Chain A
Amino acid sequence: MLRGIAALLFFQLIGESLVFLTKLPVPGPVVALVLLFCALQLGRSMGRGPFPRIEGVAEALLANLGLLFVPAGVGIVSLWGVMRSEAGPIALVLVASAIITLAATVWTFIAARRYFDRKG
């Protein structure tokens, strides 16, 4: 387990460092995600996989992903002063944008799948 944690942190460290050095407009953890994905694929193509340590830790983290949002979510208490004056507009944008995004994504996915199935 310890090695898995260390591996995730190590990749994040590399990602953050790369972003700092190159001023890439992408957050460090995202670069780390791509790097880890490439490393895992490379490992598999060289016949080294699976990687139970890192996969185990990743699964445990992702199984409780919701928990990780709780501390920042409670921040609504201290930000209420900032948000109160705009609460109505914020709620409107939040809900409308979620509905529009859900609909646009699901329709595009289904339409694109049909199109490529017919073509291929």
Chain B
Amino acid sequence: MRSPVDLWVYLSTSPLIWLTLTLCTWIAASALSVRLKRHPLVNPVLTSIVVLSVLMTVFDIPYEKFFAGAQFVHFLLGPATVAIAVPLYRQWDEVKTVLAPIGVALLAGSLVAVASVMILGWLVGLPREMLISFLPKSATAGVAMAISSSLGGNPSLTAVLVILTGITGALIVTPMMNRMGIRDYAARGFAAGLTSHGIGTARAYEVDATAGLFAGIAMALNAIATSIIVPLVARLLLGA
């Protein structure tokens, strides 16, 4: 009979345990979020990342080992970006009627998302590589990482900044819009999706169906806009 320690040594080298753990943590975090009536502070992405990070730190598991299992989930970011074509196609008739406001808000929002990082980052003196990694933070993770690595940034750092931006936006969007007295749920959703990509879109769907729809559209369009704007800005201002 082998000992539990042997079992641990055996399991911890295979991707199976980390993939299973990731999925189970996500399912539990989603259930918790539903139970607490979708309160912004129990955002399932945030809860999952905190729980898994604490486990990795406590049991001293190197990230590479964890990622060997979790990479199968991570890989789906690419196909999920492609999949955004489907809601865009389905809701095209509704989108078509507000195409002009969408175009204007996309241009303004996307420029502000990049410019605000550029200006604030320069003011607080962030190092150049970090600034480049920071610029695409409002685009969805797969796209932002690709932009960052093509400009000489650190794609892993970009991924973390993208996710932190997503969580930040998802946490503040509802109280902020309520305080601003904005009841146009198409506009609220569009802002959430543009600023906080998939995490903002998931949040928008929790609040209102129209908000979710426009958040999804904003996420899709901002993935495209960011991938055009960031390389231009980075080459022009940072010589990337």
Which residue of chain B has the shortest Cβ distance to A78 in the bound complex?
A: B63
Which residue of chain A has the shortest Cβ distance to B166 in the bound complex?
A: A69
Interface residues of B in 169-187 (CB under 8 A from A): 169, 172-173, 176-177, 180, 182, 184, 186-187
A97 to chain B, nearest CB (A): 4
Check B76 against A61 for contact (C-beta < 8 Å). yes
Is A8's CB within 8 Å of the partner chain B? Answer: yes
Check B169 against A102 for contact (C-beta < 8 Å). yes
Check B117 against A68 for contact (C-beta < 8 Å). no
Is B53's CB within 8 Å of the partner chain A? Answer: yes
B195 to chain A, nearest CB (A): 4
Residues of B within 8 A of A59 (CB): 86
A104 to chain B, nearest CB (A): 4
Residues of A within 8 A of B57 (CB): 77
A109 to chain B, nearest CB (A): 4
Separation of A5 and B127 alpha carbons in the complex (Å): 40
Is B89's CB within 8 Å of the partner chain A? Answer: yes
Residues of A within 8 A of B35 (CB): none
User: Digit string of B112-144 for contact with A (CB within 8 Å is 1, else 0)?
Assistant: 110011001100111100100010011001110
Is B80's CB within 8 Å of the partner chain A? Answer: yes
Residues of B within 8 A of A82 (CB): 154, 157
B154 to chain A, nearest CB (A): 8
B48 to chain A, nearest CB (A): 5
Residues of A within 8 A of B191 (CB): 101-103, 105-106, 109
B101 to chain A, nearest CB (A): 4
Check B83 against A58 for contact (C-beta < 8 Å). yes
Interface residues of A in 16-35 (CB under 8 A from B): 25-30, 32-34
A11 to chain B, nearest CB (A): 5
Check A95 against B105 for contact (C-beta < 8 Å). no
Check A105 against B224 for contact (C-beta < 8 Å). no
Separation of A33 and B162 alpha carbons in the complex (Å): 20
Is A92's CB within 8 Å of the partner chain B? Answer: yes
Residues of A within 8 A of B195 (CB): 98, 101-102, 105
Check A100 against B112 for contact (C-beta < 8 Å). yes
Is B49's CB within 8 Å of the partner chain A? Answer: yes
Check B163 against A94 for contact (C-beta < 8 Å). no
Is A46's CB within 8 Å of the partner chain B? Answer: no
Separation of A86 and B177 alpha carbons in the complex (Å): 30
B129 to chain A, nearest CB (A): 10
Residues of B within 8 A of A76 (CB): 49, 53, 160, 163-164
Contact of A106 among B121, B127, B182 (CB under 8 A): B182
Q: Which residues of A line the B interface, CB within 8 A?
A: 5, 8-9, 11-12, 15, 25-30, 32-34, 36-37, 40-41, 44, 54-55, 57-59, 61-62, 64-79, 82-83, 86, 89-90, 92-106, 108-110, 112-113, 116
Q: Which residues of B line the A interface, CB within 8 A?
A: 22-23, 25-26, 30, 44-45, 48-49, 52-53, 56-57, 62-64, 66-67, 70-71, 73-74, 76-90, 92, 98, 100-102, 104-105, 108-109, 112-113, 116-117, 120-121, 124-127, 130, 134, 137-138, 141-143, 145-147, 150, 154, 156-157, 159-166, 168-169, 172-173, 176-177, 180, 182, 184, 186-188, 190-192, 194-196, 198-199, 201-202, 216, 218, 220, 223-224, 227-228, 231
Q: Which 5 residue pairs of A and B lie closest in terms of their CB atoms, listed nearest first?
A: A105-B109, A71-B70, A58-B83, A27-B146, A58-B86
